[in-house]
Every structure is written in structure tokens, then in C-alpha cells.
Amino acid sequence: MTGVPQFSRRLFIQAMASVPALSDFRRRFAPGVQLYTVRELVVKRPIETLQAISDIGYTEVEMLRDQVKVLAPLLRRVNLRAISLHFETPLLTGNWTAWQHADMPPVDPGVTYEDCISLARDHGFQYIVFNYLSPEERLGLDFYRSLSDKLNEAARKASTAGLQFCYHNHDFEFQPKPGGRPMDVLLANLDPRLVRLEVDTFWVSMAGVNAAAFLRQHAERVELVHLKDRAKGMPVHYDIATVPNATYRELGNGDLPLKDILDAVASTGAKHVFVEQDFSSDPIASLRQSYAFLREVHFLA
């Protein structure tokens, strides 16, 4: 893991100068955290870590399926709300070999997608999210057409249980392939009523796509948003495994055009936003920095 970059006053002032005044944001949001940010801390000190997140001012969380049984029962004690759940994607794709080759964590035998739906419903989550494809699965456009059919069916099951299904992007969906981009195929084939978007603005940007423009173009399909900043001068990437850990920055401590991104988020149908810091030697300090930025620009409700 990398250390937390020293918060640059110059970068913060530059970012602040580019962000609209309070009256310019159409809406403000409750501050949320993707608990992947504190994935190691919550194993060692679950209640203390959640309390630290709450003390900063965050009120909502998104978590991984394997975190739910331990963390979800603790949320009320620290005034946090469970919003969305990310599950292991081979539960839908069936491609456990690719999952293992990508060094992803093992899943208890016998767990099913239907179990994820029940888990989310029983613990008060509103959303269930498909969030990743292993490198071996990122094939041609026909694969993404077939995947769309699976996601639509999974979303129908979620909807029957009172949950909204979402697709979370990375950078690889924007990589040009013969015939087009995977993201375009997904958008053309996913049922917009059943499968909503969780737009990760960092990964859209890493793929060389204007994140604000993407948000505005698909405003009616956006339900959830991930926010983080990016180190200056990064080249276009289509493989998350090649992105250096130091690339992930706290909001206001990088080079993303946050004025446009935050303004675009406020113009979409997004219901919730989550700060995520993939790598940091002090995740709580990173979350504190990003919260301070969002508070100073009056983006928070």
C-alpha cells in the first residue's frame, strides 16, 4: 500500500476555485463510503473503524457481501446506514476459474446469487451491485451481449425482492474493440428500468473518457456514484491491474476536473454518492480529507 500523499494546499485551492458555489449545485448529497476503503481495518477493529467513519461525518455505507454479516449489525450503533451491496460476480457468470486466476478472495461453497438477494434484503440494503469482470472474461462484444442478458435476468430477481440492481464500471469497459466498446454494448442491451448505473468517475476518467460528459449523457440511468481523485499526468489505462497505487488520490488532491464532475453528478438521477480510496496507508485520514473537500464545496446535504 502507498502512504497518504501530503495534502497539497495549492492543489486544494486550485480545485476549490474550479467548483461551483453552493447555489450552482442543483442538489446536495448525504456522504457515503465504500467500505472496500477500510477492508483491512474492519477485519481487525470493526466497531472502532465504523465509529471513526461516522465521526468524520459520513452517514451511508456500501460494502462487500463478505462484510455484511459482521458489519451490518453494527451500523445502527454508530449512526450509519447500509445502502448498497457488492457481490462476487461469478455468482452470476459462473466463471470461478477466472476469479481464482485474478487472485480474488474465495467464496464459501454453496453461496448463490439468490442468497445475496436475501442477505441484502434482510439487512436493509436498497441496492445490489455487479462490480467486476476478471481479465480472462473481458472478451469480445458478443460476450458483453450475453452478459447483458444475464444481468437483466438477475435484475428481475432483485426487483422482485424490492432491490435495485446496478452495474459498476471500471476502465476496461471503455477499451475499443473490433465493432465498438463494451460499455456501448452494455448500454444498448441492459434494460434501463432494471439495471441502473453506478458510475465510478475515476475509472471513466482513467479510460480517457470525460466523466462529466458521460454522466450527463446517461443522466437518467445513473443511480449511484463513486468519487475519488487521480494523480496528475496519468496515461489512459484499460487494465486496473496496471494502475500504480499512488494514482488513487483524495478528493481535491489530484487533477480530475471536479467542478464538472460534481456538477454533472448533481444533474443526474443519482441517489447516493460514495467516496472510495482503494489504496492508502491511513484510510481514515484519506476519508477525512475527501470529506473535508466535499464539505467545503457545499456538495453535502
CATH of 9-296, one of 1.20.1270.360, 3.20.20.150, 3.40.50.2300, 3.90.1720.10: 3.20.20.150
Burial 75-108 (b: 16+ CB within 10 A, else e): beebebbbbbbbbbbbbbbebeebbeeeeeeeee
Structure pTM?
Answer: 0.92
For residue 16, CA distances in Å to 10, 19, 28, 266 come to 10, 5, 16, 17
Q: What is the pLDDT along the chain (301 residues), one digit of tens a residue?
A: 444 455 555 565 565 555 555 446 889 999 999 999 999 999 999 999 999 999 999 999 999 999 999 999 999 999 999 999 999 999 999 999 999 988 888 898 899 999 999 999 999 999 999 999 999 999 999 999 999 999 999 999 999 999 999 999 999 999 999 999 999 999 999 999 999 999 999 999 999 999 999 999 999 999 999 999 999 999 999 999 999 999 999 999 999 999 899 999 999 999 999 999 999 999 999 999 999 999 999 999 9
Could you tell me the residue ranges of all domains in the chain? Answer: 9-296
